[in-house]
Amino acid sequence: MIAAILGFTSIQPARAQTDLSAYADADGYLDVQKLTCAQLAGTWQQDADMLTTWYSGWYNGLAHKHLLNIKRAKEAEHEVIMYCKANPDKRIIEAIAVVFKDMRAKLGIKMKPD
């Protein structure tokens, strides 16, 4: 997951970088549920690294997981990149949700209802 977002930031054309803090509220909080693919791609690599680490922890915490499947992470990286390139106005969490749903379906993984 982290690799997916990091890879995305490195494939975008050169343009002015925006500090991730530019998207934060007056108290310094960033609403990660509103951040778009385009905004993530336009930030500094260090900010993208920090944010993608946060996303990874968030999703793994929600799933009560503490393992990483390297092959799947690389596949997710490619799929998130492709989705975000085609949909820069979509939110990062939407891109991740689409990719994860497709990957689970492909692998035959069924989610338990809440």
pLDDT digits (tens, 9 = 90+) for 38-83: 887 888 878 877 777 787 778 878 889 888 777 877 777 778 778 8
**Strand partners for 43:** 18
Average pLDDT of the residues of the chain: 81
Tell me the pTM: 0.70
The pLDDT of residue 22 is above 90: yes
Q: Does residue 91 lie within any of the structural domains?
A: yes
Q: Which two tokens stand for residue 38?
A: 């385009």
The total of other beta-carbon atoms located within 10 Å of residue 5's CB is 26
pLDDT tens string 74-83: 777 778 778 8
Q: Does residue 51 lie within any of the structural domains?
A: yes
> What is the structure's pLDDT at 100?
84
Q: Does residue 112 lie within any of the structural domains?
A: no
Q: Does residue 113 lie within any of the structural domains?
A: no
Q: Does residue 56 lie within any of the structural domains?
A: yes
**DSSP 8-state symbol, 84:** H
- Report the distance separating Cα 7 and Cα 77, nearest Å: 7
The pLDDT of residue 6 is above 60: no
Q: What is the mean pLDDT of residues 20-31?
A: 94
The answer to whether residues 96 and 1 touch, using CB atoms and an 8 Å cutoff, is yes
Report how many domains make up the chain: 1
User: Comparing 25 with 6, which gets the higher pLDDT?
Assistant: 25
Beta strands in the chain (DSSP E): none
- In percent, the amount of the chain with pLDDT more than 90 equals 24
Which residues, in sequence order, are CB contacts of 68 under 8 Å at separation 6+? none
Q: Which domain holds residue 51?
A: 2-107
**Strand partners for 91:** 36
Q: Does residue 114 lie within any of the structural domains?
A: no
